[in-house]
Structure 1
């Protein structure tokens, strides 16, 4: 039952995050963007089934490949978000079609890795998906906040 709950949590978080990303929204630089990924990561790491003990090497390699893939996908996702400042200085963000393509590519990679795990007869925990989602969200938020800091205010004071 916990695996089903984890899988449902992954799906719910992914749908909510993607839906929210596609709408224009005001970015709050003071918001604790790392909190949700931290909670998701903690929930994933508590699972003793995260690594298949029958074939630890392949299981760790597959988990590592999955985490590298979401690191790359999170970076791409962060760079595909459109950022702008309004006249009042407020920072805004909105996902683009490229954001959807990044998500599609990430899902294709995840399905491919899952298929490889099945072919290797590995037990795959849904916690690996949860951990990947945590890394994905954290990397994406880091990239967006880094890019946002580089945006100049709409009008700078002239000395």
Structure 2
């Protein structure tokens, strides 16, 4: 894929994720929460321009820093997400203002990293950003799935018709 297509994919995924996460949504830990990050990682790794061949060491260091920022952003985003369990046992989540701050800081750090790469002359492909986005989503989804497992309310006895209705006291017959 070209850099323009990767940029469009990154932008579309970010907009979709942000719009969905700032609304209350049901968390389903049994779902394939890891699928979208894995697909993004495969798309990123298929590109040959992830590492600049002329600045091999610097490019690897920048990619490592990009991935660390992605992992930290995903963890921060997951821990600042509000989660709650409904009485039916479903778990819901919604990102908070603190989550938005985590996103802004993560984007700022990535922009600074890109600036450092430009200053030292390293060609940076959009594949590195796509790979870091995959890491962010994978960590966030994994932590939310783990947190949702701890929020399920205790399963009580199932109610039946007539439960809770006072019964007449038992009479002893002689």
Runs of 4 or more, structure 1, over 3 Å off, are 155-158
Structure 1: 5+ residue runs without aligned partners? none
Shift of 1:61: 0.2
> Contact 2:28–2:145 (CA<8 Å) still a contact in 1?
no
Larger Cα-atom Rg: 2
> d(CA) in 2 for partners of 1:157 and 1:127?
49
> d(CA) in 1 for partners of 2:155 and 2:2?
53
Structure 2: 5+ residue runs without aligned partners? 158-174
Counterpart in the other structure of 2:20: 20
> Contact 2:82–2:94 (CA<8 Å) still a contact in 1?
yes
> d(CA) in 2 for partners of 1:59 and 1:94?
36
Report the TM-score when normalising by structure 2. 0.87
How many equivalent pairs are there? 157
Q: For 1:100-115, what aligned pairs fall within 5 Å after superposition?
A: 100-115=100-115
Report the TM-score when normalising by structure 1. 0.95
Worse-superposed segment, 142-151 or 131-140:
142-151
CA RMSD of aligned residues (A): 1.2
Shift of 1:131: 0.3
Counterpart in the other structure of 2:156: 157
> d(CA) in 1 for partners of 2:32 and 2:19?
20
SS at match of 1:92: strand
Counterpart in the other structure of 1:65: 65
> Contact 2:91–2:152 (CA<8 Å) still a contact in 1?
no
Shift of 1:28: 1.4
Shift of 1:157: 3.3
> d(CA) in 1 for partners of 2:146 and 2:35?
17
Instruction: Write out per-residue CA displacement over residues 35-72 of structure 1, whole angstroms, 9 at most, x where no aligned residue.
Output: 00010000000111110000100000000001011111
Structure showing the higher helix proportion among its residues: 1
